[in-house]
Amino acid sequence: MENEFKKISSAVPKESDFIDVIVSLKERTPTRCTYVDESTLMDKCADKVPSAERRFSDMLFKVFEEFPSLSRVGQLYASVLNQRFNYFHYVDARTEVMYASMMMIDISETYQTLLAADDCDSLDKCKSLKRAAFACMLAVVRRCVPSLHFLDKVREYMANLDDAGGEHASASAAVNYKHGEGYTVQQLLLHDFAENFEQLVDPQTLVWLEELDRGESQRCEIGPLC
């Protein structure tokens, strides 16, 4: 019986990996001798939003794809998974990550529409909308971090079980279950705030993004969950 969890090729992203994406998209200030008209700068600024969306969405969806659905997990490994972590927690965490990936696309499309509107007529307005889009994406990440952490614990544990023998795996799980050492995942229910993600943006995230645009900051921590 093959252990599907051993096939996971990538590390589960941490919140710092998403921060690094935002930092990598920081606006580059033109040199004094280089003239760039404002419309070109606005276009470059607006392009940062779909760039961030693609990278965030790809990072999240890769986790969803690589972690096997229950139908791909052999019966003995499924039993271990359930005893150690609980089927429902695993399915919920995997679904949360998939849903977060989809929300990145929704956020990007919403803000690309705003960036293309007639009233977005200055570089300052463009930067403000870009920061708002980034802040919304980071708000989703913030809600998804516990699910990512939980899946990483699942991967670490399940990938280390023997391929050959369900007996060893089953006995190991039984001991852990007996001593109550399972993990749980917080029910974050991303869909409950899909229409209101702007209201859940951490003001400190916006402050950091403004500082990043001004070149006054390089990194930040998103902060604890509410």
Three-state SS string across 87-148, please? HHHHHHHHHHHHHHHHHHHHHHHHHHHHHCCCCCCCHHHHHHHHHHHHHHHHHHHHHHHHHH
pLDDT at site 180: 37
Q: What are phi and psi of 71, to 5 degrees?
A: -65, -20
pLDDT at site 209: 93
Lowest mean pLDDT among 29-38, 44-53, 61-70: 29-38
Write the CB contacts of 207 (distance below 8 Å, at least 6 apart in sequence).
none
Question: Between residues 175 and 11, which one has the greater pLDDT?
Answer: 11
Q: Please state, in angstroms and rounded to a whole number, the distance separating the CA atoms of residues 175 and 157.
A: 14
Using one digit for the tens of pLDDT, what is the confidence trace for 197-206?
667 788 899 9
Report how far apart, in Å, the C-alpha atoms of 148 and of each of 40, 68, 176, 193 are. Answer: 38, 14, 22, 19
Q: Average pLDDT, whole number, for the chain?
A: 81
Report how far apart, in Å, the C-alpha atoms of 25 and of each of 21, 44, 48, 113, 200 are. Answer: 7, 10, 7, 20, 23
Using one digit for the tens of pLDDT, what is the confidence trace for 133-150?
999 999 999 888 999 999
Q: Please state, in angstroms and rounded to a whole number, the distance separating the CA atoms of residues 85 and 181.
A: 9
pLDDT at site 35: 57
pLDDT of residue 152 exceeding 80, the answer is yes
pLDDT at site 185: 46
pLDDT at site 183: 44
Helices 123-158 and 87-115, interaxial angle, to 10°? 170
* Percent of the chain residues topping a pLDDT of 90: 51
Write the CB contacts of 216 (distance below 8 Å, at least 6 apart in sequence).
none
pLDDT at site 39: 86
pLDDT at site 48: 94
Which amino acid, 163? D
Using one digit for the tens of pLDDT, what is the confidence trace for 161-188?
875 455 555 555 444 443 334 444 444 4
Burial 98-121 (b: 16+ CB within 10 A, else e): bbbbbbbeebbebbbebbeeeebe
Q: Could you give the dihedral angle defined by the CA atoms of residues 221, 222, 225 and 226, in that order, rounded to the nearest 10 degrees?
A: 120
